[in-house]
Amino acid sequence: MTDRIHADVDALVADAASWFLGRLAAAQAAGRVPHVVLTGGSIAAPFHREVARAAAGSGVDLTRVEWWWGDERFVPADSPERNCRSGLDDLLHVVGAPAERVHVAAASDAVETVEESARRYQQQLRASGVREFEVALFGLGPDGHVASLFPHHPAAAIRDALVVPVHDSPKPPPQRVSLTYEAFAATRAVAFLAAGEGKAEAVAAAHGEGTWEECPARGVRGQDETVWFLDAAAASALQ
């Protein structure tokens, strides 16, 4: 694991965006159409805006990338709470990503149940033929959760599915869909983006020994690399 610690959020997202575009440039140069996992949470908007800004001149063709989300909140499509909101508004619509490459989990006004949303998202993943994710980006919960895999939550323990429905999420809203550890396992590069003192303990826990049940972020690692983009406050409890 590598830690890249910055003075503030602006410097953090600038470095993360440049690293992200570098990974995509290398994948495209090698002839791959990269599959990417985007995140929700508070870091999403500044990160997506920075990627949209830095993309011009990066040599990366963002219209030739397959876009997924690590988790989605089961709320109506036009809710500002949707995790895909920032990715769509701040990045994918800005760079003109074609709709057929943008994979969003069904909202609560499109399907009846969160089970159905999870089932369809898993079907989309399988149908896409994706064998690995090039990059998966994650925020970090103050309790160490990643995507919608929460500490000691039964949904986090499911291994025989790529996508699971989540009920009783400790972070609102209560119903969500999440990719599983199984889905994240085949990922070349994982990046965690975390800022602020509220994340310091979780960052330290995720770097430390112990189980994924108590700190789910421990369970997600990239095959090539796992990079932590942190501001000084989020890094403050690291030894």
Query: Which of 140, 155 has the CB closer to ligand 6PG?
Result: 140
Beta strands in 107-157 (DSSP E): 133-138
Residue with tokens 């149940």: 113
User: Rounded distance, CA 3 to CA 77, Å?
Assistant: 35
Residues in region 100-139 near ligand 6PG by CB under 6 A? 139
The whole-angstrom separation of Cα 140 and Cα 188 is 19
Q: 188 to 217, contacts with ligand 6PG by CB under 6 A?
A: none
Name the nearest CA neighbour of 135 among 83, 65, 73.
65
Nearer to ligand 6PG, 34 or 87 (CB): 87
DSSP 102: B
Q: Which of 13, 55, 147, 177 binds ligand 6PG (CB under 6 A)?
A: 147
Site for ligand 6PG in 22-81 (CB under 6 A): 39-43, 71, 73
Nearer to ligand 6PG, 27 or 202 (CB): 202
222: left (phi over 0), alpha (psi -120 to 50) or beta: beta
Segment interacting with ligand 6PG, rule: CB under 6 A, options 84-92, 96-104, 111-119, 140-148: 140-148
Q: Which is nearer to ligand 6PG, 43 or 200 (CB)?
A: 43
